[in-house]
Amino acid sequence: MIPPISSLPSISPLGSATAIGGGASAGAGAGTGALSGAGSSAGTSGAFANTVSGAIDQLQQVQNAASSAAAQAAAGQGNLADAMIAATQASVATQVTTAVTNKAVAAFTQIMNMQV
């Protein structure tokens, strides 16, 4: 029997709009540098940058697990079903991360185009 697919790692809610910003850490990814610049001038905490960094780290872990499961299945040491499940989880996690990143960039662009 194939085990059910576990739920995707979730991103905790931010709580308020003032949590956007703060300095982006070095491992936060390419798309977060612009997002962190807007809030750092306002003096907000780095909660958003930490959340994005954590989500990207989780995505990397899911992708590494899928890669190792595929390598084990190719070598005949692992279960092919488990490798396929891990690959699907990595694919869905990548799609969700891409969608969230695109929405964040669009929101940032819209905020930057506002007239004061």
Number of H helices, E strands in the chain: 3, 0
pLDDT, residue 115, reads: 87
Token pair, residue 57, equals: 């780290």
Closest by CA position to 106, among listed 43, 4, 35, 21: 35
- Please indicate whether residue 78 or residue 18 has the higher confidence score (pLDDT): 78
Residue 96 is which amino acid? V
The Cα 39–Cα 42 span in angstroms is 5
Compute the radius of gyration of the chain from its Cα atoms. 18
pLDDT, residue 47, reads: 84
What average pLDDT does the structure give for the chain? 74
Is residue 34 very low, low, confident or very high in pLDDT (cuts 50, 70, 90)? very low
pLDDT per residue over 11-24, tens digit each? 555 444 443 343 33
The Cα 55–Cα 27 span in angstroms is 11
pLDDT per residue over 82-113, tens digit each? 999 999 999 999 999 999 989 989 999 999 99
Write out the DSSP string of 80-103: HHHHHHHHHHHHHHHHHHHHHHHH
pTM of the model: 0.57
